[in-house]
Structure 1
Amino acid sequence: MSNPVYGKKAAASRNGEKFPAALWVLMVGLILFLVWAPFQAGVFNGLVLNFEKPIFWSVLVGSLLMLAWVASYYKQIKLEEQRDWMAVWVLLIPVTYLLSLITAASTYYAMNAVLIQCLYAILFIIGLHLLRSKLANSIIETTMIAVAYIIVLFGLFNWLGQGKTVSAMVGWFTKTVINGQYNQAVWIDANGPRLASVFQYPNTYAAFLMAFFFVAVFAITRSKKWYSQVIHAFMLVPMVLSILLTLSRGGLVFLPIVFIILLLFLKPAKQILWILYCVIAGVATIAVAKPVTNLGQQFHKGEIGDPAKGWLYVLGASIIVAVLAWLIQRFVAPWLEKRTEGWSAKKLANLWLPLVSVVAVVILAALLLGTNLKHVLPGNIGDRLENINMQQHSVLERLTFYKDAVKVIKDYPVIGAGGGAWAQIYEKYQNNPYQSRQAHSFVMQYLVEVGLLGFIVLVAFLAYVFYKYIRGYIRSDETKRNSYFIYFIIVFSLLIHSLMDFNMSYVFIGMLVFLGLGGMAAAMDNAPVKRLKLKPSGIRPLYSAVMVIGSLVLIFTSIRYIQANNAIEKGNALISTSTDFQEIREPFTDALKKRSNQPDAILTYNSLLKAAYQQTEEEAFYNEDLKLLTDALKKDEFNKNMYLQLISLYQLKGETDKAYDVLKDNADRYTYDQDWYEKLIVQSFELGYEALGSQDVAKKEEYFTAGLQAYDHVVRGVEHLKTLPKGQLQGGAFAVTPTMALNAGKMQYMMNKPAEAVEILKQGIGKDLNDPTSRESARWYLAALQKSGGNDQAVYDSLMQIDPSEKESIEEIAALNF
């Protein structure tokens, strides 16, 4: 059989496969990339402004690797077979992101997403071709597994209090190490410490652990070498333990689902081994989980712990599992193969154990959730398991995110709202005042970003890769199945967990998925495309030219963006060390020349210009700042921080009417922003009061009407929040504040509606009438009551006790005629 990469000449040297120099450059570069990338993983997110530089470096490296790919595979570019056309199809994914720039909520984040998707396409194309080689496949596969094991050990070192030691080893090439400690390797929230390792988010780490746990189990059963079996088996306990320490309920729910589905791809003997190893690893982990959990919790509460004791538990359990695995593979596995030969030959033979596993999982879940069996787990883990139900707040919140995402999709149905749109736009559509820059579902977030068109392109691409891989897997012999099944495990595990979380927002996870898809496509059952008769001599230079030109554009763009980030870093450093305005402004103007819509540069430069205007009152600074913000908002129309800075600038200049227009025109974008609506109501009253003083009745009515509409919006929102399901958290504060009630009540009063004013002003009266706002509300409330023929003796007496002169103030207000 010929080698699919190098043809007959290379096939003659199957065991000593030789690569040309360019291919070695490609493979070594990819290996180094996979080693470097995970330690940027926690900040490897296009929505984190301060840490986006690793993304641009990744795009730069990926583009260079693509040039190496063209040099290595130029002669193999034919586009004659179905597999070859997958390298064209994948390019449609970044194209859909390019299209979404047309309607993007933020061109800045949307452009970042285009670069990320180009990187994914590059990794898929490289994987599609490179992983056809037996040697390259073995090296890349080993690298991925080794990196995963390093990440697992790195996480446990942080859990057991040795984070500074291991952080020092990686601190020289990642900015995620802050003050000698990898930032949020252990997450602290209401549940206590949660292990996150390099990801800074426990749920994504749980998805990663799930994928590579099954990779390790598969590697044990596949390997023929005892030391390989021992290494993979040794890592089972650290991975299961780490899954428990993430406290990820999603990870615990999806783990048995993925396990059962993967069993369907194995013959009975391997299924039994998988079940056996999972049980052994689970029992061994439970045996050490409590003391290791307690040691980590003690350390992260500031108590002195004993890391050596924790490692003694982990290493002891791991060694026992490793020895058992070696014995099983040495003696039990061959016996199982022989005993199940007849069973394996029967139709649907691989279906029975998965069905039994479903029953076993249901029984185990019932025992853990409904009996005292959960007490074998550490207390916090048992509590998390006990709270798994459809009425818990995390489930209800996710369902809310999905419903709100549907609202966005209805407004941006075809090409979406652009990459990163959810983070910018969700406040306009939110059902309640939650704070979430992620939709917590890859599917929903993808639909928001690229609409139905982009989603169809992606789903069709994934479906075709999975279909061709599974079809080829069924028809292949065991050797070929074993060569690529690891990629299927990784891709399937990460994608299935991403249905209810935002794992794919982490670029490193996306890299693993698309490289894995490339490995699956490399193994798929292939066939020629009969209807397309393209001559290689014509298509080869065209396709290569597209890839080279695209790579050069990406290289140029990523370098420009890196330079912009460097300039911002330089400017931020100068702010704390220099007093020379021109010296400080230069890096920011340079950054904006390289990337005109960089939000950090815009907001920081705005602060400089505003400070300069305050000090000098020179119109040039004001005009430059005004142009900076207004131009930026044309490309980033949902950026709340920029709107707030624009409002502040107008107010500084005394242009309160323009500040008011910004508040009023954009209120619908921040549905549950209590501060925004409070400012809008206050400004409506103040401007209306000014208009009243100028005898401009029409303007007064306009401002007061708008202010009262804003107040009614808040009232309706408060009433809606009362209808939230019992288990769902409201999120941020959203209520009628005393300031809102005071100003809305005064507007009603000045519109000659004292009865309506009474009902509103009463809400602004607090228990302490010494508070200025509460006291003023009481004054206007009593005046409105007097004018409407009512009385509240208790409030009146309380106010008189504080200051008897308030009686005259009340009568003056009551005497006013509007």
Structure 2
Amino acid sequence: MSNPVYGKKAAPSRNAEKLSGALWTLVVGFIVFLVWTPFQVALFNGQQIDFEKPIYIAVLLGCLLLIGWIGIFFTKFRLNDERDLLAVLVLLLPLTYLLSMFAAASHYMAVNLLLIQSMYAAVFIVSLYLLRHKQINVTIQNAVLTVAYVLVWFGMLNWLGAWNVAGGIVGWFSNTVKGGRYLDAVMTDANGLRLTSVFQYANTYAAFLMAFLFVAIFALIRSRRWYGTLTHAFMLVPIIVSLLLTLSRGGLVMLPVVFVLLLLFLKPARQILWILHLGIAGIISLAITSPVTNIGERLSKVPDAGAAFRGWCWLLIGSAAAAALSWVIQKYLAPWLDGKLEGWTKRRLSGLWLPIGSTVLVGLVAFLLIGTGLRSILPANVETRLENINFKQHSVLERMTFYKDALKVVKDHPVIGTGGGGWASLYEQYQNNPYVSRQAHNFFLQYLIEVGIVGFLVFMGFILYIFYKYIRGYIKNRNELDDYSNGFFYLILTLSILLHSTLDFNLSYGFMGILVFLGLAGMADAMDSREVKPALKGNGIRYGYLAVLTVAAVTVLTVSGRSLSSNASTVEAKGLVRYSTSYEEIASPLQKALKLRPTHPESVLLLSALDQQIYKQTGQEEFAEKAHALLNKTLKKEPSNKQLLNQLVNLYDLKKEPELAYKVLLDNSYRFKWDINWYEQLISRASALGSEARAQKDSAKEQSYFQDALTAYDQVEAGIAHIKTLPKEQLQGRPFDVTPLIGMSISRIKELSGDSAGAAELLQTGFTGSYADLASQPEPWSPDWYSAVAARALELGQASRAQIGDGINDDAEEATMEANFGIGLQAYGYALNDAGGKESELPAPLALAAGKTQLLSGDFQEAINTFKGKLSDDYSDAVNRELARWYLGALKKANLVQDQDVYNKLIAADPNEAAQIDDVVKM
């Protein structure tokens, strides 16, 4: 006979087995892990340093749990049946991620995803054996439900104005609480306020709520205690109201699909109970959602204790009413239904009638809410979201675009994929239009991209095998096993989250992934499991597996520990940057971080920027060489990292190697074919370098650069034309149009090539908005015209610069500032080139505007040279005095020796200039 605990499912004696203290310690650790994770583990495939720490801690905890399991089960583990075999096969999942690292688009993200997959495997193995004990199984199910209910109330606390209470509860252990508020527990987008709870993303919270709505219904029906029935029934209304407050169309669409599928597993009597409980809670939720929504929107703007009290009254009274009605149904109707429908239950296909009827009913309700005025009973924001449920809605069209682009990636990387984080690294190279989405919005496609066909087949084979064997076992044994042992709790979790993940990136959240693998383990525990072949039961295989598992666990523990230490050092350096001016003090933790993870992108960016700053200040070549070596080494592992590439361009600019900077832009342009800023840099630099080659009589270089610019411009025009073919309902994404800098650069090429008419026409196209009047000025390309362009660019750039720091669109203002400054400097470069490099021949206002722009851009030495190059001895001239003032201010700002001769002449001309020099320094 099979071992009653670790062998076949049959033996009821396992339920009576005395459980050891060590096993209960493992259970407690597992539950603490489940409680801690949702408040910590956010998206795991971003590149923000703040996201790393909780992920690495979660991986550490997962490994410690696995090591604890190995210690407890070392002498007990046997490969007796197919469930034990699954504990071996689950290791193939991280193994396929390890394999995909050989072709990783980003080594950094590939390592992170490998660690995450290893944690999931650990969760599966530990869960698979803990859940075999009914007492532990019941404890874990109750713990998961408790965590879910806490997250629902956590979300409602934030919605109904008690964000300080919610933040205070978790602030002591969560790094997501800032200023007493959990960040983005209520997010705002174009649709208005959306509830997200701990997930910070409404659609994933909707998937979570959908899963636990059905789990709560299942739990209240199976409960044999009145307080259990009331507790679970009480939670139905908060869950449904929260689901509506997410404004998630995907959640509303997938909810009836999952509901009907789950009904297929139930007997007719239970099907009726599910429909009744969901219907009652749904009607009450719809009745109170409008006032709760309005109150939440008001509380987001101003504190109002009275409104908050009314909101809580609506919610709690509605929940209590639903709980009371559900208790009555369970107390009186449920036993009657069991008796009445006992005969019907035995009929063939009896379980299909209500699911079919429910499908028809769901279709009718959907028609009434979407296609008629009945939706007006809902809050305005929910009504709007329902109105927009159609295949022409922008989010649907955008998702279809993501999916098509994802298949392009798969086509180029079919076998072992692109490694973890492949979509985030490569999507700009394959995208159909300039959208921004580091997620493919489909878990299965994203998984396929990351591990290729090989890994995808392994994963799908693994989960489909569990589903098949579970369904087979459920049908065979559902009359023999109770509701705690039949695994239906875990089926609901897994099925709900996986189905919703066909529309979104729920499994890019560590906690959601943990729930899925816990659910798969729970299903595997209850599945139809046969004994394995005797050859697999030998001690050699058993000890070999445990040895491999131990080595893998220790390795992952070590890697995650090193990663955690590296993260801590990088965070320390980021903190030091704010107040320290010591190179050694800031560089030391970064160097430590890079010893642990040599090509960590953010650590490299920080240290490289620091080295470049020192090189800029001192001119010491060793710092430039260090930055160059570090960037090139990291780009071999992170070839599509735009920040690293831009920093390499900046380094070449600092070293006065514009050709090399240009080559980086040209060689990597295929990676960012919808980034208009990349095109802007590429085209403007090609135009400038071509103009320089022309001045040097190097016609071959001139034509090469000009042709590169014109080719890139053709690509921009083709992109603009393509965008016009998108469905009018689809958002194009980032701006993609001819910018003033592109317009000026290509116009300049056409002018030099003899196409004055084409140049003038293109100038009209590119010089729009605040530059429009300059396109129509007589004699473009003259020194005075360049002066007007540089002055306008400086004015617009300064206006944006003044707005930076107020916390409102700072990134956008900085980008606008840099774009305008770039236009002014390009105009100055063209004028200087036309003057044969002789600044003395340029108008003083042009040099003044260019020097100011250089100074405000942080290029102090260039500004000093520009100001000084145009200075004259005529201090009665106001423009010359301004040149002197800014020249002296730039010297002082750069901590260089003051030019006493110029200072004396300026002060002699106007004593008030001394104070104005200080004003320049303060800028």
Q: Give the shorter-chain TM-score range.
A: over 0.9
Separation in structure 2 between the aligned mates of residue 237 and residue 478 of structure 1, nearest angstrom: 31
Change (3 A) 1:646 1:624: same
**SS in structure 1 of the partner of residue 193 of structure 2:** strand
**SS in structure 1 of the partner of residue 187 of structure 2:** strand
Give 1:659-674 correspondences, 5 Å limit: 659-674=661-676
**SS in structure 1 of the partner of residue 738 of structure 2:** coil
Identity %: 50
Q: Please state how far the C-alpha of 1:30 moved relative to its aligned partner.
A: 0.4
Separation in structure 2 between the aligned mates of residue 269 and residue 3 of structure 1, nearest angstrom: 36
**SS in structure 2 of the partner of residue 422 of structure 1:** helix
Q: Are the aligned partners of 1:260 and 1:358 in contact in 2 as well (CA < 8 Å)?
A: yes
Question: One-letter code of the match for 2:668?
Answer: N
Question: One-letter code of the match for 2:275?
Answer: I
Separation in structure 2 between the aligned mates of residue 299 and residue 500 of structure 1, nearest angstrom: 31
Separation in structure 2 between the aligned mates of residue 655 and residue 7 of structure 1, nearest angstrom: 70
Question: One-letter code of the match for 2:415?
Answer: V
Change (3 A) 1:519 1:769: closer
Give 1:426-505 correspondences, 5 Å limit: 426-478=427-479, 480=481, 482-483=483-484, 484-505=487-508
Q: Please state how far the C-alpha of 1:347 moved relative to its aligned partner.
A: 0.2
Query: In structure 2, what is the equivalent of residue 393 of structure 1?
Result: 394
Q: Please state how far the C-alpha of 1:232 moved relative to its aligned partner.
A: 0.3
Query: In structure 2, what is the equivalent of residue 153 of structure 1?
Result: 153
Query: In structure 2, what is the equivalent of residue 340 of structure 1?
Result: 341
Q: Please state how far the C-alpha of 1:42 moved relative to its aligned partner.
A: 3.5
Change (3 A) 1:776 1:697: farther
Query: In structure 1, what is the equivalent of residue 290 of structure 2?
Result: 290
Separation in structure 1 between the aligned mates of residue 580 and residue 680 of structure 2, nearest angstrom: 38
Give 1:268-283 correspondences, 5 Å limit: 268-283=268-283
Question: One-letter code of the match for 2:710?
Answer: L
Query: In structure 1, what is the equivalent of residue 381 of structure 2?
Result: 380
Q: Are the aligned partners of 2:5 and 2:14 in contact in 1 as well (CA < 8 Å)?
A: no
Query: In structure 2, what is the equivalent of residue 421 of structure 1?
Result: 422
Q: Please state how far the C-alpha of 1:424 moved relative to its aligned partner.
A: 1.3
Change (3 A) 1:732 1:357: same
Separation in structure 2 between the aligned mates of residue 777 and residue 652 of structure 1, nearest angstrom: 34
Change (3 A) 1:706 1:776: farther
Alignment coverage as a number of residue pairs:
786
Separation in structure 1 between the aligned mates of residue 520 and residue 68 of structure 2, nearest angstrom: 20
Query: In structure 1, what is the equivalent of residue 820 of structure 2?
Result: none
Query: In structure 2, what is the equivalent of residue 798 of structure 1?
Result: none
Change (3 A) 1:728 1:769: closer
Query: In structure 2, what is the equivalent of residue 793 of structure 1?
Result: none
**SS in structure 2 of the partner of residue 432 of structure 1:** coil
Question: One-letter code of the match for 2:403?
Answer: Y
Question: One-letter code of the match for 1:738?
Answer: P
Question: One-letter code of the match for 2:218?
Answer: F
Separation in structure 1 between the aligned mates of residue 4 and residue 13 of structure 2, nearest angstrom: 13
Query: In structure 1, what is the equivalent of residue 304 of structure 2?
Result: 304
Change (3 A) 1:158 1:198: same
Separation in structure 2 between the aligned mates of residue 658 and residue 777 of structure 1, nearest angstrom: 34
Q: Are the aligned partners of 1:187 and 1:194 in contact in 2 as well (CA < 8 Å)?
A: yes
Q: Are the aligned partners of 1:152 and 1:197 in contact in 2 as well (CA < 8 Å)?
A: yes
Change (3 A) 1:659 1:371: same
Q: Please state how far the C-alpha of 1:479 moved relative to its aligned partner.
A: 5.2
Give 1:216-235 correspondences, 5 Å limit: 216-235=216-235
Query: In structure 1, what is the equivalent of residue 698 of structure 2?
Result: 696
Separation in structure 2 between the aligned mates of residue 449 and residue 776 of structure 1, nearest angstrom: 56
Q: Are the aligned partners of 1:764 and 1:777 in contact in 2 as well (CA < 8 Å)?
A: no
Q: Please state how far the C-alpha of 1:719 moved relative to its aligned partner.
A: 0.4
Q: Please state how far the C-alpha of 1:166 moved relative to its aligned partner.
A: 1.5
Question: One-letter code of the match for 2:654?
Answer: L
Q: Please state how far the C-alpha of 1:18 moved relative to its aligned partner.
A: 2.1
Give 1:705-784 correspondences, 5 Å limit: 705-754=707-756, 756-766=758-768, 775=777, 778=780
Query: In structure 2, what is the equivalent of residue 534 of structure 1?
Result: 536
Query: In structure 1, what is the equivalent of residue 855 of structure 2?
Result: none
In structure 2, runs of 5+ residues without a counterpart are 786-829, 835-923
**SS in structure 2 of the partner of residue 188 of structure 1:** strand
Give 1:130-279 correspondences, 5 Å limit: 130-279=130-279
Change (3 A) 1:111 1:630: same
Q: Are the aligned partners of 2:163 and 2:181 in contact in 1 as well (CA < 8 Å)?
A: yes
Question: One-letter code of the match for 1:671?
Answer: K
Q: Please state how far the C-alpha of 1:164 moved relative to its aligned partner.
A: 1.0
Separation in structure 2 between the aligned mates of residue 510 and residue 574 of structure 1, nearest angstrom: 35
Separation in structure 1 between the aligned mates of residue 18 and residue 7 of structure 2, nearest angstrom: 12
Q: Structure 1 residues 685-694 or 636-645, which shifts more? A: 685-694
Q: Please state how far the C-alpha of 1:537 moved relative to its aligned partner.
A: 1.9
Q: Please state how far the C-alpha of 1:756 moved relative to its aligned partner.
A: 4.5
Q: Please state how far the C-alpha of 1:737 moved relative to its aligned partner.
A: 1.4
Q: Are the aligned partners of 1:738 and 1:774 in contact in 2 as well (CA < 8 Å)?
A: no
Q: Please state how far the C-alpha of 1:47 moved relative to its aligned partner.
A: 4.7
Separation in structure 1 between the aligned mates of residue 446 and residue 113 of structure 2, nearest angstrom: 12
Q: Please state how far the C-alpha of 1:491 moved relative to its aligned partner.
A: 0.1
Question: One-letter code of the match for 1:573?
Answer: G
Question: One-letter code of the match for 1:494?
Answer: I
Change (3 A) 1:577 1:741: closer
Question: One-letter code of the match for 1:591?
Answer: A
Q: Are the aligned partners of 1:765 and 1:775 in contact in 2 as well (CA < 8 Å)?
A: no
Change (3 A) 1:453 1:367: same
Query: In structure 1, what is the equivalent of residue 789 of structure 2?
Result: none
Deviations 1:273-330 (A, max 9, x none): 0000011001111121111110001111336352221111111011111111111111
Q: Are the aligned partners of 1:77 and 1:536 in contact in 2 as well (CA < 8 Å)?
A: no
Separation in structure 2 between the aligned mates of residue 127 and residue 407 of structure 1, nearest angstrom: 37
Q: Please state how far the C-alpha of 1:78 moved relative to its aligned partner.
A: 2.5
Question: One-letter code of the match for 1:495?
Answer: L
Q: Are the aligned partners of 2:187 and 2:193 in contact in 1 as well (CA < 8 Å)?
A: yes
Is the counterpart of residue 600 in structure 1 residue 602 in structure 2? yes
TM-score, with length taken from structure 1: 0.93
Q: Are the aligned partners of 1:742 and 1:776 in contact in 2 as well (CA < 8 Å)?
A: no
Q: Structure 1 residues 400-409 or 18-27, which shifts more? A: 18-27
Separation in structure 1 between the aligned mates of residue 756 and residue 392 of structure 2, nearest angstrom: 44
Q: Are the aligned partners of 1:46 and 1:112 in contact in 2 as well (CA < 8 Å)?
A: no
Q: Please state how far the C-alpha of 1:738 moved relative to its aligned partner.
A: 2.2
Change (3 A) 1:179 1:4: farther
The higher relative CO (CA closer than 8 Å, separation ≥ 6) is in: 1
Query: In structure 1, what is the equivalent of residue 892 of structure 2?
Result: none
Q: Structure 1 residues 700-709 or 297-306, which shifts more? A: 297-306
Q: Please, what is the CA RMSD of the aligned residues?
A: 2.3
Q: Please state how far the C-alpha of 1:644 moved relative to its aligned partner.
A: 0.6
Separation in structure 2 between the aligned mates of residue 378 and residue 496 of structure 1, nearest angstrom: 27
Q: Structure 1 residues 569-578 or 268-277, which shifts more? A: 569-578
Deviations 1:171-221 (A, max 9, x none): 111100011100000011111110000000000000000000000001111
Query: In structure 2, what is the equivalent of residue 30 of structure 1?
Result: 30
Deviations 1:715-745 (A, max 9, x none): 0000000000010011110001122122112
**SS in structure 1 of the partner of residue 172 of structure 2:** helix
Q: Are the aligned partners of 2:672 and 2:678 in contact in 1 as well (CA < 8 Å)?
A: yes
Is the counterpart of residue 321 in structure 1 residue 319 in structure 2? no
Which of 504, 523, 527 in structure 2 is aligned with 1:524?
527
Change (3 A) 1:14 1:657: closer
**SS in structure 2 of the partner of residue 500 of structure 1:** coil
Deviations 1:741-796 (A, max 9, x none): 2211221333344454454334234476686677599558xx9xxxxxxxxxxxxx
Separation in structure 2 between the aligned mates of residue 182 and residue 608 of structure 1, nearest angstrom: 33
Change (3 A) 1:605 1:172: same
Change (3 A) 1:16 1:87: closer
Q: Are the aligned partners of 2:41 and 2:54 in contact in 1 as well (CA < 8 Å)?
A: no
Change (3 A) 1:390 1:768: closer
In structure 1, runs of 5+ residues without a counterpart are 784-808, 814-818
